Structure 1
Amino acid sequence: MEQLNSPQGTFHFSRFPVRKKETLRAWDAADEYLLHHIHELSPETDTSILIINDQFGALSTALNEYSPSMQSDSWLAHQGTLFNLQQNNIPDNTVHLLTSLESPRQSPDIILIKIPKSLSMLEEQLYRIRPLLTSNTRIIAAGMAKHIHTSTLQLFEQLIGQTHTSLAVKKARLIFSEPNLSLAPPVSPYPIALQLENCGFNHTRFKLSNHGGVFSREKLDIGTRFFLQNLPETLDGSSIIDLGCGNGVVGLMAAERFPDADITFVDESFMAVDSARINFQRAFPDRNAIFKTTDCLAGIEKNSADLILNNPPFHQNNVVGDFIAQQMFRESKQVLKQGGELWVIGNRHLGYHVALKRLFGNCVTVTSNKKFVILKAIKR
């Protein structure tokens, strides 16, 4: 837990989920810059504020007197916001939480946007807020200067209106965009449609829909393609989980291979799970599946799965590491039935086999190429 001193007060924040020996803060200089700017604006307390992409709730907590809405694609961001509100003895209902697929109840007076890592995510978000704008709406975005590019500003110009930036402070910048209601931007391309090809399956009937925040939304990445070409040939049981499902393509192909299996799609991204839902229901209109937005396998019944298929992410926003993969492996062992299998694909250099063998007591290489390895661990 660290202390943020802002013009709105002193607050204590933790990154979420809370990890031992955490070395990173739950906010950055762009959050601080934005909070100072809002203080200078001195809006009335009845001003309606929409906050987009508040990663751990620092902005929402500091601006709690305005009862803001906080929109995020991350289930973890929602939980982190609730956690940090509680740490600061602020009621949970002070902040109205929205998924990236929901809109606030009214047109906001001020919209605050933390610039996301993905330009496509930002694009879909700007398309979604466009109908909410009035000529009086203030739009202020913030990010570290290294993450604000010409393409970032062009998106604001094309979809919102005249845009300019502030001077840099502590390597952070603000972006100011003035709504031009006479603009006629094109219809949103999201979710983007992608035809599935060259995966070793009878896949010609599969079209993949991808929201802006979904990994590999414009083409199938080579790691996933390799995984699809080497999925299990047999299934001892009937329960399959696509863990970290993204657009659901791995679970989709497993569903085709095992027509009697029960498939669960899990991801912490609301856009990912919705993309998986769209894709599964299009491919299998008469078949049911479970779609769950959560942290790794939180809320999934222990000893319930026969097979877990996993292509772990190796970053959380701009933070790179294997901490998410390690959590996925631990929770997979809990959720698998005795004799159940965890199949994992990863870059060869990540060394997942070491962690899997330590955790499961066994790990075999299914196949590999110059870049990727597919591993299998069995719960004994």
Structure 2
Amino acid sequence: MTTPWGEVALSRFPEDPRDLLRAWDASDEYLLRHLADQDTSLTGTVVAVGDRWGALATALARHRPVQITDSHLAQEATRANLARAGVEPGTVRLLTTQDPPPDRVDVLLVRVPKSLALLEDQLRRLAPALHAGSVVVGTGMVKEIHTSTLELFERLVGPTRTSLAEKKARLIFSTPDPALERGANPWPLSYALPEGVGPVSGRTVVNHAGVFCADRLDIGTRFFLGHLPAGRGTQRVVDLGCGNGVVGTAVALANPEAEVLFVDESFQAVASAEATYQANGVPGHAEFRVGDGLAGVPSGSVDLVLNNPPFHSHQATTDATAWRMFTGARRALRPGGELWVVGNRHLGYHVKLRRLFGNCQLVSGDRKFVILKAVRRPD
């Protein structure tokens, strides 16, 4: 990526030479160019929120910025990109969306996320640290910035305007208003599940901002909950890509002898899963882990993996995440262990599962979704 201060080499995480997607886009370049053109003072506390692969943190490393991200993969990409650039560890402070933000923010750079709720939560958490002299600049591609985005900046930060578009990217400029009345942060959000969803009927779900379908039970998960395997006794079960943890919680409620591992690459998701589990007083044993799928889980140590894989990476549609999840599941499963997957019928996951496992069984399906089972055979 070319910046006003030179070029930086950037990669996504995990690195894959076959991946043609860049680790930055025109909105990152536009923001950095604006900071240089305006000769913005970066001597105070600089905070970059939602920096997807560390492009902003790496380009601005000499100013010792603070990065705040919801993504474990983005954080790991940042570490790798900083190391590649020769930046000493600790120069850039890496925080998650669950960590307390800095007490004072002089320059706030916001990469607009896909989730308006996550943007609201982060602006509410950071607004008290802003002062009248703080510089606040948001950035995103034109298709990512909507009227609701600008209204949120206006309501939580202060008077807001936008730039002209350049290479389909746009900037957002907000002037902090310390006297602004923002009200209480509505996140995390809790609601009771409807009847007819197995062991979790009427149970409480807790969602931190940014978690998929945070205000309702999505139809794919609802379909999955109606067909989960039951009566398995003592098992090591993984809710892979756990989101708010409702699937893993349902397993734990139906089978108190199970040991359930909740895994997601989103810090907000894992916090939601743990809160959901605790809110329902579930007996048994559970572990909550933020990570890259099943990396770090010993091979052959798991009996059952339950998975509703995403098929988007930010604005890109891709099956790369699902493939890595399936591959990790096969490695982690014991011989005879099972991977259960729910997905949109048109995604064709059965082809990948047959290629990887050598088998795939249709458990159930409707007009939109299928539930598939693949069994780990002995090598």
Pick one of 298, 306, 311 that aligns with 2:308. Answer: 311
**Structure-1 residue corresponding to 2:164:** 167
Relative to 1, partners in 2 of residues 1:271 and 1:47: Cα closer, same or farther, differing over 3 Å?
same
**Structure-2 residue corresponding to 1:220:** 217
**Structure-2 residue corresponding to 1:375:** 372
Pick one of 269, 275, 287 that aligns with 1:278. Answer: 275
Are residue 17 (structure 1) and residue 14 (structure 2) matched? yes
Letter in 2 for 1:179: P
Normalising by structure 2, we get a TM-score of 0.96
> Where do 1:13-162 residues align within 5 Å?
13-44=10-41, 46-162=43-159
- In the TM superposition, residue 44 of structure 1 has moved relative to its aligned partner by 4.5
Unaligned 5+ runs, structure 2? none
Q: Provide the C-alpha distance between the structure 2 equivalents of 1:338 and 1:59, rounded to a whole number of angstroms.
A: 44
**Structure-2 residue corresponding to 1:244:** 241
Corresponding pairs, count = 377
Letter in 1 for 2:215: E
- In the TM superposition, residue 219 of structure 1 has moved relative to its aligned partner by 0.7
Letter in 2 for 1:103: P
Q: Provide the C-alpha distance between the structure 2 equivalents of 1:373 and 1:89, rounded to a whole number of angstroms.
A: 47
Q: Provide the C-alpha distance between the structure 2 equivalents of 1:151 and 1:314, rounded to a whole number of angstroms.
A: 25
Pick one of 208, 224, 231 that aligns with 1:211. Answer: 208
**Structure-2 residue corresponding to 1:362:** 359
Q: Deviations over 1:268-288 (max 9, x none)?
A: 000000000001011126544
> Where do 1:249-264 residues align within 5 Å?
249-264=246-261
Q: Deviations over 1:33-89 (max 9, x none)?
A: 110111123345532100001111111001011110000000001000011112222
Q: Provide the C-alpha distance between the structure 1 equivalents of 2:90 and 2:150, rounded to a whole number of angstroms.
A: 34
Letter in 1 for 2:28: D
Alpha-carbon contact 1:199-1:228 (below 8 Å) kept: no
Alpha-carbon contact 2:42-2:107 (below 8 Å) kept: no
Q: Provide the C-alpha distance between the structure 2 equivalents of 1:44 and 1:76, rounded to a whole number of angstroms.
A: 30
Q: Provide the C-alpha distance between the structure 2 equivalents of 1:109 and 1:282, rounded to a whole number of angstroms.
A: 38
**Structure-2 residue corresponding to 1:326:** 323
Alpha-carbon contact 2:270-2:289 (below 8 Å) kept: yes
Q: Provide the C-alpha distance between the structure 2 equivalents of 1:288 and 1:232, rounded to a whole number of angstroms.
A: 18
Q: Provide the C-alpha distance between the structure 1 equivalents of 2:37 and 2:355, rounded to a whole number of angstroms.
A: 54
Letter in 1 for 2:46: I
- In the TM superposition, residue 202 of structure 1 has moved relative to its aligned partner by 4.3
* 3-state SS of paired residue (1:193): strand
Alpha-carbon contact 1:31-1:142 (below 8 Å) kept: yes
- In the TM superposition, residue 198 of structure 1 has moved relative to its aligned partner by 3.0
* 3-state SS of paired residue (1:13): coil
Letter in 2 for 1:30: S
Identity among equivalent positions (%) equals 47
* 3-state SS of paired residue (2:21): coil
**Structure-1 residue corresponding to 2:343:** 346
CA RMSD of aligned residues (A): 1.4
**Residue range with higher mean Cα deviation, 91-100 or 16-25:** 16-25
* 3-state SS of paired residue (2:200): coil
Alpha-carbon contact 2:195-2:202 (below 8 Å) kept: no
- In the TM superposition, residue 117 of structure 1 has moved relative to its aligned partner by 0.8
Q: Deviations over 1:101-159 (max 9, x none)?
A: 11334311100000001111111111111221111111100011121111110111111
Letter in 1 for 2:84: Q
Relative to 1, partners in 2 of residues 1:127 and 1:105: Cα closer, same or farther, differing over 3 Å?
closer
* 3-state SS of paired residue (1:266): strand
Alpha-carbon contact 2:233-2:257 (below 8 Å) kept: no
